[in-house]
Amino acid sequence: MIRQVSFLEERVSEINAPLAHRMRPTQLQDVAGQSELTDKDSWFAAMMAEGRAISCIFWGPPGVGKTTLATMMADAAGLPFSHLSAVSAGKAEVQAVVKQAKQQGKTWLLFLDEIHRFNKAQQDVLLPYIEDGTLVLVGATTENPSFSLNNALLSRCRMIVLQALEAADIESILNRACKHLQQQSAAFAVDADALQWLAESCDGDARYALNALESLFEADAHKQWSADAVQKQSLRRAARYDRDGDAHFDLISALHKCVRDSDADAAVYWLARMLEAGEQPLYISRRLIRMATEDIGLADPKALNIALDAHRMFEILGSPEGEQGLFETAIYLALAPKSNAAYVAEKSARKLAKQTQHTDVPRLLKNAPTKLMKQLGHGDGYQYAHHAVDGVVNQQHLPDGVQAELYQPVDRGFERTLKERIQWLNEKKGRGGQS
């Protein structure tokens, strides 16, 4: 038997609910941000107006409206709504929703939060019910779905990317929330500059901002909060960062590309962003060493030494003093002449090596430490370069039938000198650059 809940009980329950829940908008036009979905001419608004719902994946950072939009979609389409979290739910919970839907003969909207937590087998359980219309699946994830969701599920769901909210959007939400809280305590107020600080410090997460505001209300509901008081009461939100997630890879990608593009200011900015977010300095150091070889190479041979020295400096000094070497390295690498010629040569050489593994080492290059090897002709005809004029000899160095010009230096930095050296060697050898 279903117990009837009185209006008074509903009101008490609503008051006791977290502020973020109470401030959840019920109409699309009241949703902050996500204008590509909320604008009246958007496809999403048109779908809502038509009373339809589609299986989709909301991908975006925390506190940007994923749950809100899913709830609105269910309301607009008149569908029963179930909310599960993949952190704690599994196949049994999904099957329970399916059973309920089939018993009532209705399509059910299943909102599955943290859907990236479902493994392949759990994801596969959803497929037939999406296919036959038993479920409209709305998944929510903060992780890149292309890495965590299988293709069969992705092909049945529309991908909807949500962005972190702008500070102005969150400030508007906080102003509305203040008015809501003043219905409980008229003396409660937060100065405009304090609300601005809260909005800017929450990293685009409306839920976090509302929770912070609620904590002020709980601390003193009869106080006018100044910016200084708010900052002392609140702990600034840690930067949104997961060393195993997208933010980790996005930030190191930004650092690498700014070094490659010779933008020292941007490089040290992204380096600072990673360190402030809690990234391990030795991880950054290892990536800087890689940049020194991949993007600078022999255009400036000192770059690798500087990167290695910075790594050693951090091992000796630790944080924070040892991090100075990382900034010095990032600046040096960004301003150094660039060449990926050595990196390209490596990849080309590996490819050629795989293709020609069957070929034998030329006899003249073979080692001949024993009498038998000498009798077999190992080393026959080898010219000792130090005995030659200018130390240059012209002899076979690659297997029979293999020709390659793998290293192609650029006209920048020290590689210009190396290019001239190669040209001179080829002239001395009387050939066009073959090894």
Q: Is the dihedral of CA 110, 112, 116, 118 positive or negative?
A: negative
Residue type, 138: V
Q: Are residues 317 and 276 in the same domain?
A: yes
Residues 155 and 181 occupy one common structural domain: no
- Dihedral, 354, 360, 361, 366 alpha carbons, nearest 10: 140
Average pLDDT over residues 154-171: 90
Domain co-membership, 41 together with 151: yes
pLDDT at position 237: 54
The answer to whether position 346 is within a domain reads no
Report yes or no on 12 lying in a domain: no
CATH classification at residue 317: 1.20.272.10
Question: Which pLDDT belongs to residue 12?
Answer: 39
Q: Please give the residue range of the domain that contains residue 295.
A: 246-335
CATH number at residue 102: 3.40.50.300
Q: Is 249 strand, coil or helix? A: helix
Residues 126 and 171 in one domain: no
Mean pLDDT confidence for 211-217: 88
Identify the pLDDT of residue 9: 41
What digits encode the pLDDT tens for the residues 272-328? 998 888 788 988 999 999 999 999 999 999 999 999 999 999 988 888 889 999 999
Model pLDDT for residues 10-69, shown as the tens digit of each residue: 333 455 678 888 888 888 888 888 888 888 889 999 999 999 999 999 998 888 889 999
* Within a domain: 113: yes
**Is 2 within the bounds of a domain?**
no
Q: Are residues 82 and 62 in the same domain?
A: yes
Same domain? 224 vs 208: yes
Among 331, 340, 327, 344, smallest CA distance to 259 is for 331
In this prediction the pTM is 0.61
Same domain as 410, residue 293: no
DSSP letter at 205 equals: -
Same domain for 155 and 53: yes
93 and 149 part of one domain? yes
Per the structure, the count of domains in the chain is 4
Residue 8 lies in a domain: no
- Say what the pLDDT of residue 431 is: 62
> How high is the pLDDT of residue 241?
57
Residues 195 and 301 in one domain: no
Decide if 202 contacts 61 (C-beta within 8 A): no
- 328, part of any domain: yes
116 shares its domain with 172: no
Per-residue model confidence as pLDDT tens digits over 128-160: 999 998 999 999 998 888 888 889 999 999 999
